Amino acid sequence: MNEANEQDIPFHLLPQEEQQRIINANQKRVREAPTLHEWGIRVKTPFVWLVISIPVGIMMSIGIWLVYSDDDAGWAPIIMGGIVAAFTRYLWLADKNYHYRLTTEGLIVTYHDAIPEIAYKIVRGLAWLGVAVCVMAVAVLGPLALVGAGGMALFAVFFTDFKSEVSEHDTMFKKDWPYTLSISNRKKALRFESTPFTVAYSDNLYCKSEDFERVIELIKNQIRCVEIKNIKGHPMI
């Protein structure tokens, strides 16, 4: 029934209930299939320091220029630049912890930010402190303080429930479709992509060095691989 629906009518044109039924059936199929291999790995965020260096570099350059001009106000952007760099690197653009389970029918991926629990506690504590300071400012200065403190309080409240969030998705192998396998030996990463391309049947994954060749062979045995590409960087998303 699922196969007939996917062949006769494009998936995105099916009723919402039918789409969800197919997704649930495919997910069950992938999860209940025999496990071929299972592994976990921490993956660094690509180009993270390049992304951070542009805004932080501008802030610090201004600060250094002011300091060399005998203006003590230059220390503010220097310190702020350091805070922004640390916050962005270790909270917003943190590395990812991945867990993969490869079955005969597909791939199950679980991942979350590689952030220590103590970091979440610190951010939550600072957020509540920020809320308290804003409330005190309104109490002391009156309603006019809401002009600045109100927005700051709303921003702080956003981080009072800051915690680790685990994401998960399943990718099913479309056994009768041709696949392209892109392999990065340098990054120990690979991508299997269906033809025609469909997100539900294509994915990226990362491996430990000792498992890399084994995982490649296991995947090649589960799909109809018609093309293999050797790439230098990370697989395309």
Identify the pLDDT of residue 115: 79
pLDDT at 140 exceeding the cut of 90? no
Contact by Cβ (8 Å): 131, 158: no
Q: What share of the chain is helix, strand, coil (3-state, %, to 5)?
A: 50, 25, 25
Contact by Cβ (8 Å): 166, 212: no
CA–CA dist 226, 61 (Å, integer): 51
CA–CA dist 138, 195 (Å, integer): 60
Q: List, for residues 24-52, the tens digit of each pLDDT value.
A: 888 899 999 999 999 999 998 878 878 88
pTM above 0.75, yes or no: no
| Cross-strand partners of 179 | 194, 225
Contact by Cβ (8 Å): 230, 186: no
pLDDT at 98 exceeding the cut of 80? yes
Q: List, for residues 148-157, the tens digit of each pLDDT value.
A: 555 555 555 5
Average pLDDT over residues 112-119: 79
pLDDT band at 3 (very low <50, low <70, confident <90, very high): very low
pLDDT at 7 exceeding the cut of 80? no
pLDDT band at 64 (very low <50, low <70, confident <90, very high): confident
Identify the pLDDT of residue 99: 96
Residue 180 phi/psi, 5-degree rounding, is -110, 130
Distance of CA 150 to CAs 7, 80, 129, Å?
A: 54, 22, 14
199 compared with 120, residue with greater pLDDT? 199
Measured in whole angstroms, how far is the alpha carbon of residue 50 from the centre of its chain?
17
76 compared with 131, residue with greater pLDDT? 76
Identify the pLDDT of residue 97: 93
pLDDT band at 10 (very low <50, low <70, confident <90, very high): low
pLDDT at 166 exceeding the cut of 70? yes
Average pLDDT over residues 151-178: 76
Residue among 190, 219, 205 at smallest CA distance from 98: 205
Contact by Cβ (8 Å): 56, 81: yes
Strands (E), 114-233: 167-172, 178-184, 189-194, 203-206, 224-230
**Side chain identity at residue 200, one-letter code:** A
* For residue 196, cis peptide bond before it (omega within 30 degrees of 0): yes
Identify the pLDDT of residue 1: 40
Identify the pLDDT of residue 158: 59
